[in-house]
Amino acid sequence: MSDEGGSTNTIDLLLGGVVEPARPVRQRDITRARSSAYIVHGNFRELAGLCENISESGLIVADTATPATDVENEVYRRVHNYVSSLYSYNEQIRNALDNCLDVSVGKEIFLPTAADKSTPLYVQRGAFLWGLRNDFQHGDYWCLSVTQEQTDSETTRYHLRFNKLDFEPTPSGDADSAGRYLAHAPDSAYEYPLPYFGSFHRNLFTEFEAAFESWCERHRK
C-alpha cells in the first residue's frame, strides 16, 4: 500500500482503485490463472531460446545449414504461441475478476485508449502484443518479417522486424484501427519486437502475475 492509503497493486490500479469484491475469489479461478501463466512462461522460454539475448539484441541464432524459411516459420510459430497464451492469460484474469465483482469487467480493460495514460504499464505495453495476436488471427502477419543479419561457417543470425503499415490488429485492417494497439510506446520500440517481448515478459508480466496472486490472497475464499 502507498503512504497515502492508495494501493500500488497493479490489479487495483487496473480497476481504477481499491474495489472490494462482492464475492470471494474462487480457488478454481486462481488455479486456472496459474495454469495459464505457466503456459505463458513456457512459451516465452521457447521464444527466448531462439535468441542470443532476447532482451538486448533480440538476434535469432540458427545453424547455417537450416533453411531460412524454416527459421522464419519457427519464429512465427513461437511468437504466435506466446501472444496467444498471453491473451488467454489475460482472459483468465478478466474472468476471475468478473466472477467476484459486482461490476462487469470487459475486454477493453486490457486495451486503453491513446489518451489513457493512467492504466498500468502492463496494460499499455501489452496492447501491442494483443494486436499481434489479432493480426495472426485475422490476417496473415505480413507486419512481421525475418531478415538475415550475419552469417559465418556455423551460424546465421536474423532479426525479427515489424512493419507498422502492414499491421492488421482488427478485421477492418486499416491503419487507423491499429491506433490503440500502438499508442503506448514510440514506433522505435516496435521496430525489433523481440527485445520488446523480453522486457515485457521479464519485467511487466512477472510483476503482474505476482500482483494478481497478492490481490487474490486478500480476497480469496
pLDDT tens string 81-105: 999 999 999 999 999 999 999 988 9
Assess if residue 195 is contained within a domain.
Answer: yes
How many structural domains does the chain have?
A: 1
Asked if residue 1 belongs to a domain, the reply is no
Whose cell is 469487467? That residue is 105
| pLDDT reading at 2 higher than 50 | no
Higher-scoring residue by pLDDT: 97, 139:
97
**Burial status of residue 174 (CB atoms within 10 A of its CB: 0-12, 13-18, 19 or more):** exposed
H helix runs in 101-149, sequence order: 121-138
pLDDT score of 173 more than 80: no
Residue 3 has pLDDT above 60, yes or no: no
Is residue 5 assigned to a domain? no
Q: Tell me how far apart the alpha carbons of residues 137 and 17 are, in angstroms, rounded to a whole number.
A: 33
- Give the pLDDT of residue 4: 38
Domain membership of residue 4 (yes or no) is: no
What integer is the mean pLDDT of 142-161?
A: 95
Q: Is pLDDT at 1 greater than 50 in this prediction?
A: no
Per-residue pLDDT, 19: 86
Please give the pLDDT value at position 177: 57
Q: Among candidates 213, 220, 221, 219, which has minimal Cα distance to 10?
A: 213
- What was the pLDDT predicted at 137? 86
165: left (phi over 0), alpha (psi -120 to 50) or beta: alpha
| Residue 42: band (very low, low, confident or very high) from pLDDT cuts 50, 70, 90 | very high
With respect to residue 93, please indicate whether it lies within any of the assigned structural domains: yes
Residue 141 φ/ψ region, left for φ over 0, alpha for ψ in the -120 to 50 degree band, beta for the rest: left
**5 has pLDDT over 60:** no
Q: How far apart are CA 205 and CA 90, in angstroms?
A: 10
Q: How much is the pTM?
A: 0.92
- Can you give the residue range of the structural domain that contains 38? 10-219
